[in-house]
Amino acid sequence: MNAKGFCHTTDKIGSTRKSVLKHKPSMTPVSSKQYADDVSLLMVLLDTNPLFWSSTAAPLSFSKFLSQVISFLNSILLLNQLNQVMVIATGLNSCDYVYDSSSGPTNQRVETLLQKLQEFVVKDEELNKDDSVDRIGSSLLSGSLSMALCYIQRVFRSGLLHPQPRILCMHGSQDGPGQYVAIMNSIFSAQRSMVPIDSCVIGSQHSAFLQQASYITGGVYLKPQQLDGLFQYLTTVFGTDLHSRSFLQLPKPVGVDFRASCFCHKNTIDMGYICSVCLSIFCKHHKKCSTCGSAFGQPQTSVSTSNQKRKAP
Amino acid sequence: MEVLTFAAKKFECNKQALEDGLSKKRGSGEKASEEAMSNFGNGKGKPVNDEEDDEEDDGNERDLEAWERAYADERSWESLQEDESGLLRPIDNQALHHAQYRRRLRSLSSASRIQKGLIRYLYLVIDLSRAAGEMDLRPSRMVVVAKQVEAFIREFFDQNPLSQIGLVAIKDGVAQCLTDLGGSPESHIKALMGKLGCSGEASLQNALELVHDQLNQIPSYGHREVIILYSALSTCDPGDVMETIQKCKKSKIRCSVIGLSAELYICKYLCQETGGLYSVALDEAHLKDLILEHAPPPPAIAEFAIANLIKMGFPQRAAEGVISICSCHKEAKFGGGYICPRCKARVCELPTECRICGLTLVSSPHLARSYHHLFPVTPFDDVAPSLVPNQHRRPKNCFGCQESLLNHGNMPVRCVTCPKCKQFFCLDCDIYIHESLHNCPGCESLRDSKSVD
């Protein structure tokens, strides 16, 4: 019974059988010391948005990008025998798992990944509807973040011996404002489970969502300058496990913008008005809230009170 | 004295029923007691006395303790089973699934779109009278309560970042404010842990009077709440407590009580009049559940709080390497901190109120923490595991975590499906999505269901 088989017996019965059968047993059981601090589970969220990769905003071609990322994933798997990598593709119309390092033949990793990625991209493109393609071109980051977090919860459920999970977003597309609430929910859930979200931004502009994600969850945010050397950035900044990060000087967060946008004009504001019922943000005083329809300053039944209420010091 | 012994007997009866429930399930502590708890109703506003009446009074022929009976009559070791490879099977899966199912049912009822009071001003009243020194909860009621209150405070600020808490202690027949209404969890916890000593009588009226005076000063858009953790079996009041209760009702303060000993009529009356919840804790795990039930915002009664526009500031982070005097500690600090957009004073942490100009300062993630109360995830539908294996419609894996949806006999296990995106999820993902993540991965991975911006 090998390492994986041993630790998986604490899983539910179904997955126990499957994983025992899949792995070639090497008959020595793994002592718990081998599941030490530096074993990591890396969830990579790969942006495959064709609108981004075919535009001028992409500083390198997708194939060059992919070759650097694959070398990086191989180096992660070489760092420790028990390291695990899962890749989720973030598409324009869908998201899906494309690679699992704990299953499949170990001498054909690249082929399996490329094949599944190809299938995913074809399927994603079929889902394109001509009338709903928005030229902004934001990919579904919230979907892949949610899927990654569900998988990480499954790893936590598998017992006391598990690798340390973290999420790495390789992202290039713009932020889609419609995903704000969903991404913030994922960020808070990651913060509670203590899963850092690292971000590597490929595009031409910074991503405010990913900056906030990395700041709140304690991950690293990086926008590499020279993308020919992407592999070097990846291995030096994102390659280390969580325990060893305390010994390294990693890029610090600079100038995370936590200002809000008003709901009426979508401008960033630094002072605004909040509806006390639904917490919508407005830049000017209104008579009625456009989100929840509550009339301000007017009680439903009893006498009216003034709008400006200050708390007594 | 009669009242006291009657109440004590009821409590004893409950304890044994609990232990029966525990020994039947034979599971790991948390899950089993949860299962046993769910047998007594979900504690949501339902007073425990209904279940107390249902329990038959067979305590007279008990000569063995409940834990002794678990070994003598129901031999829990005989129910262990081995699977094919000689390893021990984990605890009965059915019970686990059942517990999961009940949790789901509970979350179903709370997922409908009711308006919630998001800006809450909550007073926690902790009873530190002589009864709090009782040792039926180890090491004593007071210590257990303090521990659970600490967890509650952290959870409360996590779910309600714009709200404020104040602490009040009842001791020696008077009520004193441990901390004023404030938004920093550390200061409350420190104040509580420093003052843990119990003596004297408990006075409900004094506590309510104090809380009433304090809560009258808050802005009209805030929801006023009180949670009383009451261990005593009596209240020693200087006047008419009914008058005070009517005063609180008129001021629209929602009072809830969590009892630690037995049910009291006055507490029940208070909660009924003001629209709060009354529950009595059976043991420590149950107490934790009951307290944490109050962490998410309760349904808002429309005339209780007036909708208003609150002016708030969203400060930027100050530049690194700048030395300035912070307005909260009044000392020079290096780098970090936030700048108030109105008066440019430096504050150390958010959310807070600027001490110079009084502007409420928050960051957009704080507001975003409450958005999931406004946009909850639709509850998932059950999928009955049919007996036909490998149905073509059903995927083999859970969409969220890729866990297999077939057990080792290739029979489909119980799973759920999202009514909007029609993806299948396992039960564990269902619980995680509805309790922590608040996003459906299937809906988020579909372009169609997103609004085009």
Question: Confidence class of residue B371 from pLDDT cuts 50, 70 and 90?
Answer: confident
pLDDT at residue B20 tops 80: no
Q: What is the pLDDT of residue B308?
A: 84
State the average pLDDT for chain B.
78
pLDDT tens for B128-186 read 999 888 888 888 889 999 999 999 999 999 888 889 999 999 989 999 999 998 888 88
Whether B312 and A127 lie within 8 Å, measured CB to CB:
no
Of A192, A285, A297, the CB nearest to B436: A192
Q: Quote the strand ranges of B289-420, DSSP E.
A: 309-313, 316-317, 323-325, 332-334, 338-339, 346-347, 352-353, 360-361, 381-383, 415-417
pLDDT at residue B341 tops 70: yes
CB of A78 within 8 Å of a chain B CB? The answer is no
Instruction: Give me the mean pLDDT over the B337-341 stretch.
Output: 87
Question: Greater confidence, B210 or B3?
Answer: B210
Q: What is the pLDDT of residue A12?
A: 43
Q: Show residues of chain A in contact with B302, CB under 8 Å.
A: 300
Alpha helices (H) in B308-382, listed in sequence order? 364-369, 371-374
Of B89, B407, B444, the CB nearest to A14: B407
Q: Quote the strand ranges of B128-173, DSSP E.
A: 164-171
Q: What is the pLDDT of residue B394?
A: 75
Strand, helix or coil at B354?
coil
Residues of A numbered 128-147 whose beta carbons fall under 8 angstroms of chain B's beta carbons: which are they?
Answer: 129, 132, 134, 136, 140, 142-144, 146-147
Residue of A nearest to B440 (CA): A146
Whether A279 and B306 lie within 8 Å, measured CB to CB:
no
Cβ within 8 Å of residue B327, ≥6 positions away: B345, B346, B347, B354, B355, B356
Of B302, B406, B439, the CB nearest to A300: B302
Cα within 13 Å of Cα(B272), Cβ side: 9
Q: What is the pLDDT of residue A145?
A: 95
Global ipTM: 0.81
Residues of A numbered 275-304 whose beta carbons fall under 8 angstroms of chain B's beta carbons: which are they?
Answer: 275-279, 281-282, 285-286, 289, 292, 294-302
Q: What is the pLDDT of residue B274?
A: 92
Whether A274 and B87 lie within 8 Å, measured CB to CB:
no
Q: How far apart are the CA of B102 and the nearest CA of chain A, in angstroms?
A: 19
Whether B429 and A153 lie within 8 Å, measured CB to CB:
yes
Of B115, B222, B447, the CB nearest to A140: B447
Q: What is the Cα–Cα distance from A200 to B277, expressed in whole angstroms? A: 48
CB of A227 within 8 Å of a chain B CB? The answer is no
Q: Show residues of chain B in contact with A310, CB under 8 Å.
A: 219, 358
Whether A146 and B313 lie within 8 Å, measured CB to CB:
no
How far CA B154 is from CA of A185, B138, B150, B183, in Å, comes to 18, 22, 6, 11
Q: Show residues of chain B in contact with A255, CB under 8 Å.
A: 317
Q: What is the Cα–Cα distance from A140 to A183, expressed in whole angstroms? A: 10
How far CA B372 is from CA of A182, A196, A214, in Å, comes to 9, 21, 20
Widest Cα–Cα separation across chain A: 79
Question: Greater confidence, A12 or B399?
Answer: B399
β-sheet bridge partners, residue B353: B360
Cβ within 8 Å of residue B424, ≥6 positions away: B383, B394, B395, B398, B399, B405, B415, B416, B417
Of B302, B309, B371, the CB nearest to A275: B309
How far CA B304 is from CA of A18, B150, B219, in Å, comes to 56, 28, 12
Place of tokens 């992660």: A76
Query: With contact defined as beta carbons under 8 Å apart, do A138 and A12 qualify?
Result: no
Residues of chain A with pLDDT under 50: 1-29, 300-313
Q: Show residues of chain B in contact with A257, CB under 8 Å.
A: 316
Q: What is the Cα–Cα distance from B376 to B434, expressed in whole angstroms? A: 8
User: What is the C-alpha end-to-end distance of chain B, expressed in Å?
Assistant: 69
Question: Confidence class of residue B39 from pLDDT cuts 50, 70 and 90?
Answer: very low
Alpha-carbon Rg of chain A, whole angstroms?
Answer: 23
Residue of B nearest to A277 (CA): B307
State the average pLDDT for chain A.
81
Question: Greater confidence, B364 or B208?
Answer: B208
Q: What is the Cα–Cα distance from B285 to B26, expressed in whole angstroms? A: 16
Instruction: Measure the CA angle with vertex B90, ends B85 and B93; round to 5°.
Output: 120
Q: What is the pLDDT of residue A305?
A: 35
Question: What is the helix (H) or strand (E) element at residue B107, kind and residue range?
Answer: helix B93-109
Instruction: Give me the mean pLDDT over the B331-357 stretch.
Output: 85
Whether A150 and B429 lie within 8 Å, measured CB to CB:
yes
Instruction: Give me the mean pLDDT over the B195-205 stretch.
Output: 89
Of B222, B364, B450, the CB nearest to A260: B364
The conformation of residue A244, written as its DSSP 8-state character, comes to G
Q: What is the pLDDT of residue A19?
A: 41
Of A93, A255, A311, the CB nearest to B447: A93
Q: What is the DSSP string of B230-259?
A: E--S----SS-HHHHHHHHHHTT-EEEEEE
Q: What is the Cα–Cα distance from B101 to B218, expressed in whole angstroms? A: 41
Q: What is the pLDDT of residue A143?
A: 94
Q: Show residues of chain A in contact with B429, CB under 8 Å.
A: 150, 153-154
Query: With contact defined as beta carbons under 8 Å apart, do B194 and B395 qualify?
Result: no
Strand, helix or coil at A72?
helix
Q: Show residues of chain B in contact with A215, CB under 8 Å.
A: none
Query: With contact defined as beta carbons under 8 Å apart, do B439 and B380 qualify?
Result: no
CB of A264 within 8 Å of a chain B CB? The answer is no
Question: Greater confidence, A255 or B325?
Answer: B325
Query: With contact defined as beta carbons under 8 Å apart, do B149 and B291 qualify?
Result: yes
Q: How far apart are the CA of A150 and the nearest CA of chain B, in angstroms?
A: 5
pTM over 0.95: no
pLDDT more than 90, % of chain B? 27
Q: Which two tokens stand for residue B269?
A: 């009356």
Q: How far apart are the CA of B310 and the nearest CA of chain A, in angstroms?
A: 5
Q: Show residues of chain A in contact with B100, CB under 8 Å.
A: none
Q: By C-alpha distance, which of B185, B182, B184, B117 is closest to B151?
A: B185
Whether A277 and B307 lie within 8 Å, measured CB to CB:
yes
Question: Greater confidence, A33 or B83?
Answer: B83
Query: With contact defined as beta carbons under 8 Å apart, do A184 and B365 qualify?
Result: yes
Instruction: Measure the CA angle with vertex B135, ends B134 and B139; round to 5°.
Output: 125
pLDDT tens for B405-444 read 877 777 777 788 898 998 999 888 888 898 889 989 999 9
Of B220, B317, B450, the CB nearest to A309: B220
pLDDT at residue B450 tops 90: no
Q: By C-alpha distance, which of A283, A256, A78, A66 is closest to A172?
A: A66
Cis bond upstream, residue B351 (ω within 30): yes
Question: Confidence class of residue B257 from pLDDT cuts 50, 70 and 90?
Answer: very high
Whether B453 and A282 lie within 8 Å, measured CB to CB:
no
Q: What is the Cα–Cα distance from B111 to B183, expressed in whole angstroms? A: 27
Whether B312 and A17 lie within 8 Å, measured CB to CB:
no
